[in-house]
Amino acid sequence: MLKLLKLLRDGRFHSGEALGAALGVSRSAVWKQLQHLEAELSLPVHKVRGRGYRLAAPLSLLEAQAISEASSGECWPVLIYDEIDSTNAQGLRAVDAGQQAPFLVLAERQTAGRGRRGRHWVSPFAQNLYYSLVLRIDGGMRQLEGLSLVVGLAVMRTLQAAGVTKAGLKWPNDVLVGDRKIAGILLELVGDPADVCHVVLGIGVNVNMQNADDVDQAWTSIRLETGQLVERNTLVAQLSANLQEYLERHRQYGFEALQAEWEQAHLWQGCPVSLIAGVTRVDGIVLGIDKQGALRLQVDGVEKSFSGGELSVRLRDDS
């Protein structure tokens, strides 16, 4: 089925006879594969008598060679999967199997993509970016301070360079356009943070997605914002370059050197918010973040700092 998809990915019409000849199957077998393509991958196929078949839109498939050619500097080793449960989960499995970090895991589709707080990450085939970078951290908790916020800066700059000029940050791990989510970040760590550990920087970016009935929050994509089909291999290369730059700055100077830049990009700076931790709710005004990346709130006239992966922040109705 994927061989057929690669023949159709240019978005042009191909006759059933030509497709059958290229695949070495009958026209009826081509028709059956097209039906599977639509049913299993939710990719609409247009059928026109006398012209043949074409995808509703051209498709950009991930390829290591194309990523390398689009990269201006050194590339991380990359593992690409047509389908996987989760790129983060595969990154952790690869570490257990002895894969040397750093390395990158990409997938065309995730069957069990994860967001923060156990949420499902909608992952349609070949439309978005499901990207997990695995790094080895040798000692020093300082290297982990504010790391998810540093990744957010790299993602935001990548989106802005792709034409999403209004992309901004929401503490701790979201990239928004206005009130609509365009990217999310999930960091997972294994090992001893005080000695040797591995951290997986999981990034999901809505790239070419235009419809998604099963997303449970306001969302957008690069294509919806720019009106342009995005070449995902180029986007991977640009994101990797930005990550290399920001991670190196973080390694050399710590998160404190990036604190002001992050605050300038924070869409909810100065806004009244509610911070939710389980059944506990704290209302306050966003003052910014501290040197470790914790959220600073003014609560009843007193400044307090909050951090933790299970925290959620929402704009208050009076904002």
**Once rounded to an integer, what is the mean pLDDT over residues 239-243?**
97
**Mean pLDDT value across the chain:** 90
| Catalytic site residue from 3, 32, 251, 314 | 314
Strand ranges in the chain using DSSP code E only, listed in sequence order: 45-48, 52-55, 78-81, 103-107, 129-138, 167-170, 174-177, 180-191, 196-205, 272-277, 280-289, 295-299, 302-306, 312-315
Would residue 251 show up in a list of annotated catalytic residues for this protein? no
Fold of 64-263: BirA Bifunctional Protein; domain 2 (3.30.930)
| Catalytic site residue from 170, 181, 223, 296 | 181
Start-end of CATH 3.30.930.10 domains in the chain: 64-263
**Once rounded to an integer, what is the mean pLDDT over residues 185-194?**
89
pLDDT digit string (tens) for 141-184? 778 889 999 999 999 999 999 999 999 999 999 999 999 999 99
Lowest-confidence pick of 84-88, 96-100, 141-145, 259-263:
141-145
Domain with residues 2-55, CATH architecture: Orthogonal Bundle (1.10)
Higher pLDDT, 236 or 55: 236
| Catalytic site residue from 116, 223, 232, 296 | 116
Would residue 116 show up in a list of annotated catalytic residues for this protein? yes
pLDDT digit string (tens) for 113-151? 765 545 656 778 889 999 999 999 987 677 888 999 999
16 Cβ contact list (under 8 Å, min separation 6): 27, 30, 31, 52, 53
Q: How confident is the model at residue 56 (pLDDT cuts 50, 70, 90)?
A: confident
Domain with residues 268-315, CATH architecture: Roll (2.30)
Provide the percentage of residues in the chain whose pLDDT is more than 90: 64
pTM: 0.89
Q: How confident is the model at residue 62 (pLDDT cuts 50, 70, 90)?
A: very high
pLDDT at residue 319 is higher than 60: no
Would residue 314 show up in a list of annotated catalytic residues for this protein? yes
Q: In this structure, are strands 280-289 and 272-277 parallel, antiparallel, or unpaired?
A: antiparallel
Start-end of CATH 1.10.10.10 domains in the chain: 2-55
